[in-house]
Amino acid sequence: MQGVLLTEGSTISIALSDAGLVLFGVLLVLYGVAVGMTFVIRHAKESWGMLSGIYFLILAVLVGIVMLDLSGASGALYTIQSIEHLSELLSTHRWLLIQVPVLLALSSLIVLLTYRSNIAESHAKTYRMFLQIAVLFGFASVILIGFESML
Amino acid sequence: MRSFFSRIHESVALAAIFALSVTLHVAWLANLLAHKIPLVRAWFTVSADIGPVSGMYLFTLIVFVLFFGLGVLAWKGKDCSHWRERILWFFMVSLVVFFVMTLPIVYDFGVLVE
């Protein structure tokens, strides 16, 4: 009997054996934290260091995922014949889309390291807005990639 | 040395956003050209195992670094306050254009002439 968590050969154990899946899960968690922290940084300016660390981790995980896919060290592949062409198109779209969170995370990290705790001040409003837009679009891109990979 | 780190080097932050915006445009343009012109696709194929994506990623990275450097040099030591809003708008437009132009139905669009 194959269960989700408690049985032998559970779904979770199979999922955790796939490095790409683990990294994707970690990425979603990191982005969740980054979204929350980015929107409260104005009132918690000393958290800029932790947010910078989160962005660094996001960047590292994204590069890891790309490297895994480029090296071909992926898990089993399933293609539904009837939507094969759509799967191919969406795969190309994902290869393009992955650049967005990488570039956004890199730029956000640079902005945070430049402004540090001064990011909370009134003159840094434009850069805070940039961080907010960047983290939302980066998160949305990752979720979109996840959804497209299901087809 | 202490005064260097205590100052806000806004030129660096602005250059990062500017480079990001330019890179997004370059990325969708590179994809469109690689998709339509076989010569460009071959030119982007740095690694035969990976395909044109290898060259496109490398090109994107080089463009980002190049425009980041240019931005830092252009805005170094200057008052960047009046550039903030402009660069932010440029970034937002670049993001939207990238998302639209990388949709398969958009870059795959072609007109058949018989």
Q: Most B CBs within 10 Å: which of A65, A94, A97, A114, as the mutation test of the B interface?
A: A114
Residue in B closest to A99 by C-alpha: B57
Q: Who contacts A137 (Cβ-Cβ below 8 Å, separation ≥6)?
A: A100, A104, B95
> Which residues, numbered 7 to 66 in chain B, qualify as contacts with chain A under a Cβ-Cβ cut-off of 8 Å?
8-10, 12-13, 16-17, 19-20, 23-24, 27-28, 31, 49-50, 53-54, 57, 60, 64
- pLDDT tens, A65-84? 988 888 765 444 555 555 66
Tell me whether A114 touches chain B (CB under 8 Å): yes
> Of all helices (H) and strands (E), which one includes residue B37?
none
B50-94 tens-digit pLDDT? 788 889 999 999 999 999 999 999 998 888 889 999 999 999 999
What's the CA gap between B78 and A147, in Å, rounded? 44
Query: Greatest CA span in chain B, whole angstroms?
Result: 70
- pTM for the structure as a whole: 0.87
Mutate to test the interface with A, among B4, B9, B20, B97 (most CBs of A within 10 A): B20
Percent of chain A surpassing pLDDT 70: 82
Please provide the size of chain B in residues: 114
Q: Which residues contact A8 (CB under 8 A, 6 or more apart)?
A: none
Q: For chain B, how many helices (H) and strands (E)? A: 6, 0
CA B17 to CA A112: how far, in whole Å?
A: 12
